[in-house]
Amino acid sequence: MRILYVIGTRPNFVKTAPVIGVLRRRHPEGRHTIVHTGQHYDRLMSEVFLSELGVPAPDFMLEVGSGSHAGQTARTMERLEPVLADEKPDLVVVPGDVNSTLAAALTAVKMGIPVAHVESGLRSFDLTMPEEVNRIVADRFSEWLFLHSPEAVTNLRAEGIPEERMHMVGNTMIDTLVALEERFRTAGSAARLGVDPGSFLLVTLHRPALVDGSLLGETVSQLAALARQMPVVFPVHPRTRKMMEGLQPDAPGLLLTDPLGYLDFLSLVADAGAVLTDSGGIQEETTYLGIPCFTLRDNTERPVTVTSGTNTLLGLDPQAIARIPALLTGGPRTPPSPPPLWDGRAAERIADVILS
Ligand code: UD1
C-alpha cells in the first residue's frame, strides 16, 4: 500500500507523528511518503517540532509559505497535484483543520484518491473561523473519518455522514504527549525561565478573531495587570508578534518569548498553575494533564474538554482575564480523568482500521 501524509503546521506535526510512526512500523513493505506544505516554515514553527517528534525528513517540501486563504490554499493544491500524480498513493492522510488540510483533501478527492481525516467531526458551529470551513470540507470528502470524542459522532450524523465512514479511535495528539511525557517532565523549562512550578499562567494566543483586531491591545493590558499577581509566560506566535508591534508592554512579571519547541512548551504546560489560550490542541493537552485551562473564545469545537476536562470558556473578552486568580481558588484540583481512548494508542487503532 502507498500512503501519503500531508502536513503543514505545528499542530499537524503533533497529530500525525504517531500515525506515521505506527504505520511505518506495522506496514514496512508499504510506501510512506511525507509531504510538508510549508504553511509553517520558521525553524521554531517547523524544523524543531519535526525533529523533537521524530518525524522523518519530508520527501516533498511544497514551500507554499504565508498568504491569503485563497492564495495559500491554491498554491498548496497546485503544488500537491503533480506530487499525487507521480506518487499515485492509495490513501492520503490529512490531520486537523488548517488550510493545508483543506487543500490536500480537495486535491486528492478531485484526483479520485481516498482521503483519511485524522481528528474528524469537531465543530464550533462558527463559520467565521477558517478552521470550521476546513473541517467541514475535509470531513465531507474523506472516506475514512478518525474520531476522538463522542460529539464528533453526533456532529457527523447531523451532516448525514454515513456511519461506516466513522471510526472512533481516540486522540493522536495525546499519543504524542504520552510518548514524550518522560522527556518533557524532566525538561525543566520553568526553572530555565526563572518561574516556579505551579505559580505561573502560561499564555498562547493566535486566532485572528483575537489578535488581528482591536482586542489584542486590551488583552495585553490585562495580561500586564495580571502579571502583578502571578507571573505570566507568553510564547508569542509569529502572527501575534506581528500584530503586537508597538504594543510591547514593559510589565515586570510578564515574560514574552519566541515560539517554543514541543518539549519546552509541554514542560511549561505540565508545570503551569493555569493556561490561558485560544488554541484547540492546548485545551486537550491541559485536560489530559489536569491543568486548569481558560479559553479566550466564545465557543469550542472541543466541548469534551469542558464537560469532562479542565477547560473553562471565558468568552472572547479580554476583561475576563482579570477573573482568573479568583477562578483558581476554587479548592483542590481533581485528578485528571481524560476522555475515553485518550490513552496513547489512537494511532494503533488507526493502523488497525487502515491495514484491515
Ligand atoms: C494556522 C492555522 C490555525 C492553527 C495555527 C497553529 C489556518 C487557517 N490556520 O494559523 O488553524 O491553529 O496555524 O499554529 O490554517 N508566520 C510566520 N512563520 C511561520 C508561520 C507563520 O512568520 O512559520 C506568520 C506569517 O506572518 C503568517 C502568519 O504567521 O502570515 C499566519 O500564519 P498562517 O499559517 O496563515 O496561520 P496561523 O495563524 O499560523
Confidence (pLDDT) at 171: 98
Residue 114 beta carbon below 6 angstroms from any ligand 1 atom = no
- Give the pLDDT confidence of 110-145 residue by residue, as tens digits: 999 999 999 999 999 999 999 999 999 999 999 999
Nearest to 104 by CA among 80, 122, 88, 86: 80
Q: Residue 66 C-alpha to ligand 1 middle, in angstroms?
A: 7
Rounded distance between C-alpha atoms, residue 345 and residue 48, angstroms: 24
Using the atom order of ligand 1, give the atom closest to the CA of residue 279: 12
Nearest CA to ligand 1 atom 1: 98
Among 97, 119, 206, the mutation site with the greatest number of ligand 1 atoms within 8 A of its Cβ is 206
206 lines ligand 1 (CB under 6 A): yes
Helices and strands, number each (H, E), in the chain: 16, 13
Instruction: Tell me what pLDDT residue 247 has.
Output: 81
Q: Look up 69 and say whether it is catalytic.
A: no
Q: How far apart are CA 21 and CA 176, in angstroms?
A: 10
Tell me the three cell numbers of residue 95. 490531520
Name the helix (H) or strand (E) containing 313.
strand 311-313
Ligand 1 centroid from CA 65, angstroms: 9
Task: State pLDDT tens for residues 177-215.
Answer: 999 999 999 999 999 999 999 999 999 999 999 999 999
The pLDDT tens digits for 14-23 are 999 999 999 9
pLDDT digits (tens, 9 = 90+) for 257-315: 999 999 999 999 999 999 999 999 999 999 999 999 999 999 999 999 999 899 999 99
Indicate the pTM of the whole model: 0.96
Atom number, ligand 1, closest to the C-alpha of residue 99: 15
Phi, then psi, of 122 in degrees rounded to 5: -75, 140
List beta partners, residue 257. Answer: 235
C-alpha cell read off for 4: 501519503
Burial class of residue 167, CB neighbours in 10 A (0-12, 13-18, 19+): middle
